[in-house]
Amino acid sequence: MKKLVFFLFLSVGMLFGQQANKIKLSPEATFSVITCGAGSELYSSFGHSAFRIKDPVFGYDVVYNYGTFDFNTPLFYIKFAQGKLPYQLGRSSFKNFIRTYKYEKRWVKEQVLNLTPEQNSTLLAYLENNYKEENRNYKYDFFFNNCATKKRDIIKENFKDAFIFHEDHITSQQTFRDLIHDNLNDNSWSSFGIDIALGAVIDKPANAKEYQFLPEYVFKAFENATLSGGKTPLVKETKLILKAPENAISNGNILLSPYVIFTIFLLIVLVITFLDFKNNKRTRWLDAILMLVSGLGGIMLTLLWFATDHTATATNMNILWLLPINIFFVRKFLVQSKECKSLANHTMVCILLIVVVFFLWIIDFQQFALAAIPLLILFLVRYIYLTYYFRKLEA
């Protein structure tokens, strides 16, 4: 039954696509920008945007959605990790589109655009041409080319200076990271992962246009836009299509939050280090684990920086405390190595690099994850003790 419904829907979609450039829209047709509220999952935490064409005369009610991709893409997960996964323009009936948001209890707002019948036809032709199989893929970028940024870009591309996007609605100056944090709980695994993976490039202030990688700011930009005369609004009507409670940023289970978990790890390492100091020994398995974890973390950050197309993972100073070269020290720290001088030199360098991390944080070169503070203290304390221990053995 599901296959039959899908086949019928696909057939209708193909028929619509074949006729889109032939059918003249009625004067009653309208184009809208659809903005959807945030969901509870990370991928939906920032909301969503789409175009809607509605023509009550011909019975069209179709959504064009730049937030889709094909799960059957060869090497899907590898391409996703590399930033090479092509995103696509999708097309569906508005009824099917809205069903998901009803189920997820997310609000949906519609901004009906003040376009002429000729402009409606132009925009429809553009989207239909973009939906062709050879044109629908595009290179996604979370900050500069996503489902939200496409809205203003397409309007500007098709209508040039016919509309003016004013920028006086942006009254604060925030960085890209600040804007992300506005939609996430700082003490969440999602926030921690983003702050570890993304580099200093997202710590520069965003301009008014760059705010529009988030759907909520696309909504505000269109709300503040006018026709070229400067008085007539681009949005002639705003409707609440689907009412739902605003999704407050979830605090989750505080006991399982990264700050609490890492603080527990810190306390464990402090106790072990104190006992090691008291008994003049070294817990080798602990040192090997720290080298392994920090080394693997550093390798991951290095690959994200240099081996992917992600623009936001460059210049990531987390690599100063998650050192890739630590992976080569795992065995040396696991055994009772006699290379005391070289190991002491290595831990001393690690101490200096962590100091540099705090300095870069203070001067605002890069903002680091708040939940990483216990980890930074953990590594710093252990490195200080190991430097002391190896220097003492050497003497």
Tokens encoding 129: 């041409």
Residues 95, 215 share a domain: yes
pLDDT tens by residue, 61-109: 999 999 887 767 776 666 666 777 788 999 999 999 999 999 999 999 9
Distance CA 303, CA 305 (A): 5
Q: Which residue has the higher pLDDT, 340 or 317?
A: 317
Domain that residue 310 falls in: 254-394
Residues 143, 31 share a domain: yes
In a domain, 155, yes or no: yes
pLDDT over 70 at 17, yes or no: no
Residues 311, 224 share a domain: no
Residues 265, 153 share a domain: no
28-32, 76-80, 131-135, 385-389: lowest mean pLDDT where? 76-80
Residues 238, 315 share a domain: no
153-167, 240-254, 280-294: lowest mean pLDDT where? 240-254
pLDDT over 50 at 343, yes or no: yes
Residues 284, 234 share a domain: no
Domains contained in the chain, number: 2
Residues 316, 224 share a domain: no
The conformation of residue 313, written as its DSSP 8-state character, comes to G
pLDDT over 60 at 15, yes or no: no
Residues 113, 92 share a domain: yes
Distance CA 51, CA 383 (A): 55
In a domain, 2, yes or no: no
Residues 328, 214 share a domain: no
In a domain, 178, yes or no: no
Residues 134, 45 share a domain: yes
CATH code of the domain containing 128 = 3.90.1720
In a domain, 183, yes or no: no
Residues 217, 338 share a domain: no
CA distances from 241 to 16, 36, 44, 49, 107 (A): 24, 10, 18, 14, 8
Residues 145, 104 share a domain: yes
